[in-house]
A and B are shown apart, each in its own frame.
Chain A
Amino acid sequence: MKIDIKHIAKLSRLKVDDSEIEKFEKDMENIVSMIENLSDLEDTGSLLDKDNSMVLREDVAQNNFKRDELMQNAPQTKAGCVVVPKVVE
């Protein structure tokens, strides 16, 4: 099976150099062929863990973080905001 690395890379928001395409293609095909020889499996029930149903906490707003602490990790800030490239023309 041929895998369209360019398309997958676009979906993944990754740039793949033309020189790397062949390498990734081969890696991917090897990995995919591992699962292709699986026999058909019967769907035997729910995929959720019946013993451990998740309990959600109350949806209450909490003030856990200070703005300036969070902003310290931002790559680029201005006037207390994160700077990003222009999105709307």
Chain B
Amino acid sequence: MELFRYTATEISDMLKNKECSSVEVTKSVLDRIDEVEDKVGSFVTVTKELALEKAREVDEKIAKGESLSNLAGIPIAIKDNICTKGVKTTCSSKMLENFVPPYNATVIEKLNNCDYVPVGKLNMDEFAMGSSTETSYFKKTKNPHNLDCVPGGSSGGSASSVSAGETMLSLGSDTGGSIRLPASYCGVVGLKPTYSSVSRYGLIAFASSLDQIGPIGRSVSDVAMLYSAICGRDNLDATSAIREYPDFRANLNTDIKGKVIGLPKEYFGKGVSDNVKEAVLNLSKELEKQGAILKEISLPSTDYALNAYYIISSAEASSNLARFDGVKYGYRASDYNGLVDMYEKTRSEGFGDEVKRRILLGTFVLSSGYYDAYYKKAKLLQQKISAEFNDAFDACDVILTPTAPDVAFKIGENTNDPLKMYASDICTTTVNIAGLPALSIPCGYDNNLPIGAQLIGRKFGEQTLLNTAFAYESLVGGFNKIPDIK
């Protein structure tokens, strides 16, 4: 079997046992990129030389018998809104087309310390605003399971690259579902960690109170391993939590006896396709056979969550994106008449339509006379949604829902209707609003397109989520299935 087909966990063990070298693994992944990237389009930048150089270094360290991290020598690709020193970080926007960060995000520093192999930077919706990766300024990424379909978004390249075997692991970011939705559409495992568990330093901000960086992989153990490497307190992010984290991979087990799994009826209602419902409920029955207890619960404010999400995220985005003014970095318009005209032309030419739409909405809800009616109301709704989750977790350990109401849609199908596009986030935004961790895992197919199930946990309850997913993964014989790309 070609090396790119293995999981990161398998490769990690094979490297330790000297059954393969990091250069061999990296070459296999780079060859796979050469083979399928024209069709899939996951990457904005492939860092071939850098990857091989790093892989050679790791092989030397292994030869010398140095003690290395689990991730040493493993190819990992990074969403293009996470700053990588000396490597372009574009946010898939014309605004940052030529931006080369003079510093690394904290997660990149951490991965460097683990001796990871940097494969490249991944395509995304512009500034992470979107659910299909179609708003990228550069290109449309395709779903490896069906090239006519979107990979989901906004971390579309992060999911498609892992799914297609173009990398072993990737980092994405999740503000309203941007890791889980593409993971679901592409049939891979994606974790949105608890807010504050992973440093956001060096993540180009969209909505600071909701954004989290998280891992995507082809097995639960892979995701656990990458999450362990990136979580933890960082003095450069004042919101990062001060606490100790376990080794999530080492603590994985399949024992879910007595765990109570809540099924919120609001997530199985109208708008969710019958096949998705059936696949997720089948998964719940499999867990029940393993000793878990199923319980129907209610989260009544779910219907309003999407509204609160768009108000809060757009408000924060309008403020965060005010920094792109054409002065110190990024795009600057070429013809202008004075400072204000330079700002306006730079921003109007540098941002795409979806970004402008959200800046306008955010500016509107924060503007004088409307703040109480919209922004404050959304923040109160946020409290209510959090309180409902807290109550639910008094009665259960994990909440199980579909990740998305349906499987991946066709490219171009929803681009003219923002509300229809936003509806694909209906199952995921509540989690960001409440700051909870959630994991998307594959649980079946509809018309050859993957269906995803979402497991939601208590704050810092990632291990319970991973273990529940691990129990199901062991039962179905693994999630690692790279589709034929045609």
A53 vs B363: C-alpha distance when bound (angstroms): 28
B interface secondary structure, majority: helix
**Inter-chain contacts of A64 with B (CB < 8 A):** 103
Q: Which of A12, A14, A75: most chain B Cβ within 10 A?
A: A12
A81 vs B335: C-alpha distance when bound (angstroms): 20
**Given the interface contacts A42-B380, A45-B383, A54-B239, does A84 sit within 8 Å of B339 by beta carbon?**
yes
**Given the interface contacts A24-B357, A51-B459, does A12 sit within 8 Å of B311 by beta carbon?**
no
Neighbour of A9 across the interface among B103, B308, B343, B360, CB < 8 A: B360
Contact assessment for A13 and B380 in the assembled complex, using a CB-CB cutoff below 8 Å: no
**Inter-chain contacts of A30 with B (CB < 8 A):** 418-419
**Inter-chain contacts of B435 with A (CB < 8 A):** 49
A13 vs B341: C-alpha distance when bound (angstroms): 9
Contact assessment for B330 and A73 in the assembled complex, using a CB-CB cutoff below 8 Å: yes
A66 vs B86: C-alpha distance when bound (angstroms): 13
A56 vs B238: C-alpha distance when bound (angstroms): 6
Interface membership of B245, Cβ < 8 A: no
A20 vs B236: C-alpha distance when bound (angstroms): 41
CB proximity of B392 to chain A, nearest CB, Å: 17
**Given the interface contacts A9-B360, A66-B102, does A82 sit within 8 Å of B380 by beta carbon?**
no
Contact assessment for A13 and B347 in the assembled complex, using a CB-CB cutoff below 8 Å: yes
A74 vs B327: C-alpha distance when bound (angstroms): 7
Instruction: Count B-side interface residues using an 8 Å CB cutoff.
Output: 61
Q: Which residue of A lies closest to B235 (CB)?
A: A57
**Inter-chain contacts of A74 with B (CB < 8 A):** 327-329
A2 vs B36: C-alpha distance when bound (angstroms): 49
**Inter-chain contacts of B308 with A (CB < 8 A):** 35
**Inter-chain contacts of B102 with A (CB < 8 A):** 65-66, 69-70, 72-73
Q: Which residue of B lies closest to A36 (CB)?
A: B373
User: Which of under 10, 10 to 19, 20 to 34, or 35 or more describes the interface residues of A?
Assistant: 35 or more
Interface string of B380-393 (1 = CB under 8 A from A): 11111001000000
Neighbour of A35 across the interface among B103, B377, B459, CB < 8 A: B377
CB proximity of B384 to chain A, nearest CB, Å: 6
**Inter-chain contacts of B236 with A (CB < 8 A):** 57
Contact assessment for B382 and A47 in the assembled complex, using a CB-CB cutoff below 8 Å: yes
Q: How many A-B residue pairs have CB under 8 A?
A: 134
A28 vs B374: C-alpha distance when bound (angstroms): 13
Contact assessment for B383 and A11 in the assembled complex, using a CB-CB cutoff below 8 Å: no
A26 vs B236: C-alpha distance when bound (angstroms): 41
Contact assessment for A14 and B383 in the assembled complex, using a CB-CB cutoff below 8 Å: no
A75 vs B242: C-alpha distance when bound (angstroms): 39
A23 vs B370: C-alpha distance when bound (angstroms): 21
Contact assessment for B100 and A73 in the assembled complex, using a CB-CB cutoff below 8 Å: yes
Contacts of B78-105 to chain A: CB distance below 8 A: 98-100, 102-103
A67 vs B459: C-alpha distance when bound (angstroms): 41
Contact assessment for B418 and A31 in the assembled complex, using a CB-CB cutoff below 8 Å: yes
CB proximity of B90 to chain A, nearest CB, Å: 12
A70 vs B328: C-alpha distance when bound (angstroms): 9
Interface string of A5-35 (1 = CB under 8 A from B): 1001101111110000000100110111011
Known: A14-B360, A38-B377, A44-B380. 18 other contacts (CB 8 A): A5-B360, A9-B360, A11-B363, A13-B344, A14-B359, A15-B348, A16-B356, A28-B364, A34-B307, A41-B377, A43-B380, A45-B383, A52-B196, A52-B239, A75-B329, A84-B327, A84-B342, A85-B336
B residues neighboring A (CB under 8 Å): 98-100, 102-103, 196, 235-236, 238-239, 241-242, 304, 306-308, 310-311, 318, 322, 325-332, 336, 338-340, 342-345, 347-348, 351, 356-357, 359-361, 363-364, 367, 374, 377-384, 387, 418-419, 435, 459
